[in-house]
Amino acid sequence: MNAKLRSVAVVVGWVLCVGAAAQQYPNKPIRFITVGADDAAPRILAQVLSGQLGQQVYIEEHAGASGTIGAEVASRAPADGYSFMIATSTHMVTPHFYKLSYDIMRDFEPVSLLASTSFVLLAHPSLPVTTLADLVALAKAKPGQLNYSATSAGSTSMLTFEMFKAAAHVNIVHVPYKSMAAALTDVIAGQVDLGLNVTPSSLAQIKSHRVRALAVSTPKRSAALPDVPTFVEQGLNVVAPAWFGLVAPAKTAPSIIARMNAEVVTALRKPEVRERILTLALEPGENTPEEFRAYMKADMARWAQAVKDAKIPTVTQR
């Protein structure tokens, strides 16, 4: 065999090996790195994907620092299709506050949106308001006298409430909390007038009338709270969904991204999977990798504007 033929044979052999490897993917367990947010929906998805792929998909949690610890771990993972991260809307906020070792848009490949939910504006029942218009009127009559609970400055809950304040031109004082659970507890107890929390955490308290829901932050009404109007319906341009999505380390092969996207879409369209996710007060929703990238970019721009409007000093070190 001459040199030219040997070269051709080598190339053909390499192509066949790559093709065979792609067909065999996955041939070992796959990890989903979570970052400390509620991982009930990712666990449901991991269980379903394990069955579809014929390989275990397992959860590996790296909580802390507003999701940045997990993102750092995921950004350093091999781009071999066996490590993915559950990104959240919080990852769209942290670049505006922290000097990070990674870039969420540069160092990750979007796979698909998984699920989203709303933030819900809550009032203690003793507050004499039943609608958002009532609250705006009361806040304007008592500037700086009402307060609200949310997590620390720069969190998605705090920034969403600040979006509302800017849109309504009201002065309501932020009382910071270390956790959303603690923030909700003090609204229930009447220690603060108002709160801003995610729907899954608030649903039971709303249904038991321990707090009153005035508005949700999603573009459409929440399936879990169909009687609660959106901010937009009530004349205020406040849109801030909380979401989960699947991303992979940058340079993961396009064929693997496409395969995982197809598997996620198949899983999320199963009626039993949709029902399980809906019971968590989350709304399943898949899209293409390209659509998810555009979704993430738009969300990051939205939070950048919220940070600017709220005039929150940025932090350069985590």
User: The domain spanning residue 295 has which CATH number?
Assistant: 3.40.190.150
Three-class secondary structure of residue 157 per DSSP: helix
Say whether both 165 and 302 belong to one domain.
Answer: no
Instruction: Look at residue 315 and tell me if it is in a domain.
Output: no
User: Comparing 152-161, 169-178, 191-200, 269-278, which segment has the lowest mean pLDDT?
Assistant: 152-161
Instruction: Look at residue 176 and tell me if it is in a domain.
Output: yes
Assign 64 a pLDDT band (cuts: 50, 70, 90).
Answer: confident
Assign 23 a pLDDT band (cuts: 50, 70, 90).
Answer: low
DSSP letter, residue 118: -
pLDDT of amino acid 10: 40
From 189, 219, 234, give the residue that closes a domain.
Answer: 234
**What's the whole-number average pLDDT of the chain?**
91
pLDDT of amino acid 18: 40
Asked if pLDDT for residue 169 goes beyond 70, the answer is: yes
From 234, 256, 289, give the residue that closes a domain.
Answer: 234
Instruction: Look at residue 216 and tell me if it is in a domain.
Output: yes
Task: Average the pLDDT over 220-245 and give the result.
Answer: 96
Say whether both 59 and 109 belong to one domain.
Answer: yes
pLDDT of amino acid 316: 52
Say whether both 201 and 222 belong to one domain.
Answer: yes
d(Cα 62, Cα 73) in Å, to the nearest integer?
8
Say whether both 165 and 222 belong to one domain.
Answer: yes
Say whether both 111 and 252 belong to one domain.
Answer: yes
Kindly tell me the burial class for residue 298, based on how many C-beta atoms sit within 10 Å of its own C-beta (0-12, 13-18, 19 or more). exposed
Q: How far apart are the first and last CA of the chain?
A: 61
Assign 21 a pLDDT band (cuts: 50, 70, 90).
Answer: very low
Say whether both 275 and 220 belong to one domain.
Answer: no
- The tens digit of pLDDT for each residue in 175-229 reads 999 999 999 999 999 999 999 999 999 999 999 999 999 999 999 999 999 999 9
Say whether both 230 and 292 belong to one domain.
Answer: no
Task: Average the pLDDT over 156-165 and give the result.
Answer: 95
Q: Specify the CATH number for the domain of residue 196.
A: 3.40.190.10
**What is the extent of the structural domain holding 183?**
119-234
Backbone angles phi, psi at 194, to 5 degrees: -135, 165
Count how many domains the chain has.
Answer: 2
Task: Average the pLDDT over 109-121 and give the result.
Answer: 97
Say whether both 218 and 196 belong to one domain.
Answer: yes
Say whether both 109 and 246 belong to one domain.
Answer: yes
Say whether both 249 and 154 belong to one domain.
Answer: no
Task: Average the pLDDT over 268-296 and give the result.
Answer: 96
Rounded (10°) angle between helices 254-268 and 271-278: 80
Say whether both 200 and 134 belong to one domain.
Answer: yes
Question: How many other C-beta atoms are found inside a 10 Å radius of the C-beta of residue 18?
Answer: 12
- What distance lies between CA 5 and its chain's CA centroid? 53
Instruction: Look at residue 316 and tell me if it is in a domain.
Output: no
Asked if pLDDT for residue 19 goes beyond 70, the answer is: no
Instruction: Look at residue 317 and tell me if it is in a domain.
Output: no
From 210, 234, 258, give the residue that closes a domain.
Answer: 234
Q: Which secondary structure element, helix H or strand E, spans residue 186, and what is its range?
A: helix 180-188
The beta strands (E) that lie in 129-250 are given as 147-151, 173-177, 194-198, 212-216, 242-249
Say whether both 69 and 96 belong to one domain.
Answer: yes
Instruction: Look at residue 135 and tell me if it is in a domain.
Output: yes
Asked if pLDDT for residue 137 goes beyond 60, the answer is: yes
Instruction: Look at residue 10 and tell me if it is in a domain.
Output: no
Instruction: Look at residue 251 and tell me if it is in a domain.
Output: yes
Assign 13 a pLDDT band (cuts: 50, 70, 90).
Answer: very low
Which pair of structure tokens corresponds to residue 307? 């940070």
